[in-house]
Structure 1
């Protein structure tokens, strides 16, 4: 009961079109090619091989056995990882099949051998025999197409191998115009002529096991190589840019390292010169500041001392300013120069002191008073400003 429900829920089979039979369907379809020209062959593949590695080994084995110039497609049906059969076809024939699609190529979902379009189920063999030949599906993983005489020999051998392996077919669905010619091969096997006569457990499905992946319309290996080539064309310019950037960065790094080395050398030479000529002892915390201070100190020490102005020099320098005052007396002594003057008022006295200061003479008032005869009398002690 569960098998019947599962069969009813299977996805509908894709539309198929046999190349050369009229026009292809208007919608998406799978094109069927003569199975006799794309046979399945069994290979000896290590069980540990999986994925792309298994495909590569299978391709090499097939080409070694069948010769060059072939297209090889893995028959990975029902997602099996331990597949060991491949479909092979001459490459020129594959190109003719692709060309026969014409404008319908865009709607074609695959070029598949016709025996893979027969219904199948585990334990069920399906055989179609007509005047043009025989197409057979010997369970999900095997099948062939051949002319009548060869088909008889192939079916006889396949049945003998199945019985020897204790896996004979549980039923055979035999249809077609010349089906009766093959009925005698299956003595002892349940033989039916209509799918409706099969037990529920053997309800077949049509192209439900990934048969469309055995596709000669496209070459997955060539597609992968094309993608790889496109990626390589993109990678090379990027790689050259990266290499250029790395080279520039390396050159910059070398330049910086060289500059740092030169700077360290100059700094060492500078410190040695400073120690030798300017700062022979003591720590150097701020080279520039300490060097400038030492240079200023040495410059100041090297300048000649200016002799102090004598009394006569002071008098000579003050004379132009004293000419505007009434000079009563001038005293030249060891303490310096003293001048007694008489001015109109204290304001005039302050102006005289300021004028003397402007020319570098310090005028210290030691006495000032109002003169009885009028005006202001004062004694000024003159000395050079420090």
Structure 2
């Protein structure tokens, strides 16, 4: 069953004591135990590295050990796989209990495990609210949400509306006067049914595909891939041995091709002597031709960008003002005039601060890679692709 069909499935609340449905279902957990939290991530981090850094920052911020909590990236669509900046955090022990409750039983087919606030329909810039068992579930637009008891919900909602603009709000079921007062103070029109939003010309919340499932361990994908490849180790080794044997049998067929290659090389060298490399030995055709062409084009390119030596010197001067704990490991030109700087820093915040310093000095700089070291600190690579010196 596809993710878009989940809205039609029955719901089961973990810990409710109710019997499991006999058909496929969606399991829900209290949103207070699986909050959706923002996380600041450096530019350029993608995939597993982005998830690893997000988990490190959120756990460090809460003072949790790596084994104490799981961090699940929250995506509103597949295109956000490299730009997400929010994650659901839940205690590992609680997750283990929820998973055991909804899996491993006859006819129990939990297709997803979600915080209950993500079960609400949503629309951009619209707040969706629902009272469930003396608790309030809130969805703010497409990318935020939470669950709380009414007094705490009022405080959280008041703070959220101060930072996020909502064009309207709709209740599913009976409203709460105290929460309506918070919405009114923020000038958010409140409707008790979808038709009210339509009359205001606003979007009506719909069931949204959520690219998140707490049934799955976020770090288990690599382990599953490794286990899947393990049975293929022996066949792969035998295949390599067969290839080597076949290669030995075919080696003698290459002798004639080698003679033809030598003849072709002679013709190529003669052409290069007449057109590009009139003197000196020819050792590496590709490298020598590239250098000769670059040398021929260099006079015309001097006005199109900064002088590499001046940019190198300016970079070295800027790095002297780097945050404390920064150590430069290597500096090298790559891809022409781009400068790669490998360094270690005290934290990811120090990497962001160094980027800001470089950009303030006229450098076009970006963070190409960053990862936490086993002990303390961060290893990072900065790419400097341009520099505009102060006139």
Instruction: Give the TM-score, by structure 1 length.
Output: 0.54
Residue segments in structure 1 that go unaligned for 5+ positions in a row: 1-9, 163-167, 254-386
Q: Which of residues 123, 129, 133 in structure 2 aligns to 1:121?
A: 123
Tell me which residue corresponds to 2:155. Answer: 153
Larger radius of gyration: 1
Equivalent residue number for residue 203 of structure 1: 204
Going from structure 1 to structure 2, the CA distance change for 1:24 and 1:51 (only over 3 Å counts) comes to same
Equivalence for 2:24: 28
Give SS of 1:214's match.
Answer: coil
Cα distance in 2, alignment partners of residues 142 and 225 from structure 1:
30
Gaps of 5+ in 2: 251-391
Please state how far the C-alpha of 1:193 moved relative to its aligned partner.
1.6
Shift of 1:243: 6.7
Q: Aligned with 2:152: secondary structure? A: helix
Q: How far apart in 1 are the matches of 2:76 and 2:190?
A: 25
Judged with a 3 Å threshold, the aligned counterparts in structure 2 of structure 1 residues 177 and 130 are, in CA distance, closer, same or farther, namely: farther
Cα drift, residue 124 of structure 1: 0.6
- Which residues in structure 2 correspond to 1:331-342 (within 5 Å)? none
CA contact (8 A) 2:102 2:109 kept: no
Seen in structure 2, the aligned counterparts of structure 1 residues 190 and 230 have a Cα distance that, compared at 3 Å, is same
Deviations 1:64-114 (A, max 9, x none): 223131112111113342221000111111111112115267521110000
Q: Counterparts of 1:11-90 in structure 2 under 5 Å?
A: 13-15=7-9, 16-19=11-14, 20=16, 22-66=18-62, 67=64, 68=66, 69-81=68-80, 82-90=83-91
- Seen in structure 2, the aligned counterparts of structure 1 residues 48 and 105 have a Cα distance that, compared at 3 Å, is farther
Pairwise CA RMSD: 3.0
Task: Write out aligned runs for 1:274-353 (5 A).
Answer: none
User: What is the deviation of 1:63?
Assistant: 2.6
Q: Quote the residue 1:96 is aligned against.
A: 97
Superposition deviation, residue 175 in structure 1: 4.7
Q: Whole-Å Cα distance in 1 between the matches of residues 193 and 240 of structure 2?
A: 70
1:151, distance to aligned residue in structure 2 (A): 1.4
Deviation at 1:122, TM superposition (A): 0.5
In 1, the alpha carbon distance for the partners of 2:171 and 2:215 equals: 30
SS in 1 for 2:179: helix
Distance 1:237 1:72 in 2: 36
Does the C-alpha gap of structure 1 residues 80 and 134 become closer, same or farther in structure 2, counting only changes over 3 Å? farther
Cα distance in 1 between the residues matched to 2:175 and 2:190: 15
SS class of match (1:198): helix
SS of the residue corresponding to residue 223 of structure 1 reads helix
Q: Structure 1 residues 144 and 125 mapped into 2: Cα distance closer, same or farther (>3 Å)?
A: same
Given that 2:123 and 2:205 are in contact with CA atoms closer than 8 Å, whether structure 1 keeps it comes out as yes
Counterpart among 224, 227, 233 of residue 226 in structure 1: 224
